[in-house]
């Protein structure tokens, strides 16, 4: 589908952004026409994800220009763009993006060395080419930092594969590009505070709750899927899930407030951060969840 032209009242600013981007990245010789075509397509992509109409001004205000220039260069087949993408740094650990993806692959496939080796290469191959659906980089709308977004897409993409291979429905495609929280909420201080509070909370809960947490929040299994796996009524899983969520919000939220949190949407921040922590925490690794299920005579369906 050919994107609609950029309206005249936004055109002047997009031209200015193009030239600012070229000054920052003089080695990326992106044609103005290509820049504007990709930008118009991204605007339409972003607009389809929101519940309310989006104005061009708001869209341009939220544009991560440097990340956007790199994506445009990759989509235009420029080697320099791919070099910049490969060497992109992740905000919290300051490691290279490709190394962050490899680390995430180790957590997703803890007992499959061969699969870990191929996971990152397979992901890169689908950035601009896809067997079905829209290639990954074409989904990037410039409204979030690129490296964290790619890590999240990588994680959810492989979780979908694990679920599909075990007979569980894949995650919805829209979930692969779920919005990230506003950049201001990702400050290192609050991420570190969250991790300490969440790990203490995890350490206090019994294994039965930790198993439910891993199945529901880490592997994103539905209540019905978990109930079927554990052989209990779906209503029981629903009540236990609500109790876990409320307990997490109360326990972790109270800790952050006591440490000085004054930002908006504390609950949203906690729930968004929780996904990454649950994948990283060794107490919720595939081996540990498999062990907990084995005690019940069950098998982890995502392995």
Tell me the β-bridge partners of 96.
89
239-254: b (≥16 Cβ within 10 Å) or e:
ebbeebbeebeebbbe
For 16, 63, 87, 247, 297, the CA distances from 255, given in Å and listed in that order, are 44, 33, 36, 12, 37
Q: Measured between alpha carbons, how far is 207 from 127 in angstroms, rounded to an integer?
A: 38
Could you count the other beta carbons within 10 Å of the beta carbon of residue 185? 18
Percent of the chain at pLDDT > 90 equals 17
The mean per-residue pLDDT over the stretch 207-212 comes to 90
DSSP SS3 for 6? coil
Both ends of the chain: CA-CA distance in Å?
Answer: 38
- The values of phi and psi at residue 275, to 5°, are -60, -50
Could you count the other beta carbons within 10 Å of the beta carbon of residue 11? 13
pLDDT at 121: 83
Q: What is the Cα Rg of the chain in Å?
A: 21
Q: Measured between alpha carbons, how far is 135 from 126 in angstroms, rounded to an integer?
A: 6
Tell me which long-range contacts 291-295 makes (C-beta under 8 A, separation of at least 24).
292/207, 292/210, 292/211, 292/214, 293/211, 293/229
pLDDT in tens, 130-189: 766 678 888 898 888 888 888 878 877 777 766 665 554 544 444 444 444 444 444 466
The mean per-residue pLDDT over the stretch 277-292 comes to 80
DSSP SS3 for 96? strand
Q: Which helix (H) or strand (E) holds 21?
A: helix 8-24
pLDDT in tens, 81-99: 998 888 887 654 456 787 7
Maximal C-alpha separation, the chain: 65
């Amino acid at each position: 589908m050919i994107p609609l032209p950029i309206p005249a009242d936004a055109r002047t600013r997009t031209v200015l952004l193009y030239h600012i981007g070229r000054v920052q990245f003089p080695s990326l010789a992106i044609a103005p026409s290509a820049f504007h075509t990709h930008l118009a397509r991204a605007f339409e992509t972003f607009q389809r994800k929101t519940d309310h109409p989006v104005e061009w001004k708001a869209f341009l205000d939220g544009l991560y220009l440097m990340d956007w220039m790199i994506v445009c260069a990759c989509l235009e087949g420029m080697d320099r763009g791919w070099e910049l993408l490969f060497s992109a740094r992740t905000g919290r650990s300051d490691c290279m993006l490709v190394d962050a993806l490899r680390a995430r692959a180790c957590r997703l496939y803890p007992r499959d060395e061969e699969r870990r080796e191929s996971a990152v290469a397979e992901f890169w191959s689908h950035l601009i080419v896809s067997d079905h659906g829209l290639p990954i980089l074409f989904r990037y709308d410039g409204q979030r930092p690129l490296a964290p977004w790619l890590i999240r897409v990588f994680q959810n993409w492989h979780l979908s594969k694990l679920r599909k291979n075990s007979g569980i429905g894949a995650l919805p495609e829209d979930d692969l590009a779920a919005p990230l929280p506003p950049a201001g909420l990702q400050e290192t201080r609050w991420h570190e505070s969250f991790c300490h509070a969440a790990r203490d909370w995890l350490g206090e809960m019994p294994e039965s709750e930790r198993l439910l947490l891993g199945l529901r929040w880490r592997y994103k299994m539905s209540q019905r899927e978990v109930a079927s796996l554990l052989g209990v009524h779906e209503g029981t899983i629903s009540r236990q899930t609500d109790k876990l969520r409320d307990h997490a919000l109360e326990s972790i939220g109270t800790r952050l407030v006591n440490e000085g949190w004054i930002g908006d949407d504390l609950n949203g921040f906690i729930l968004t951060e929780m996904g990454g922590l649950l994948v990283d925490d060794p107490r919720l690794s595939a081996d540990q969840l498999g062990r907990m299920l084995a005690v019940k005579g069950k098998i982890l369906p995502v392995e």
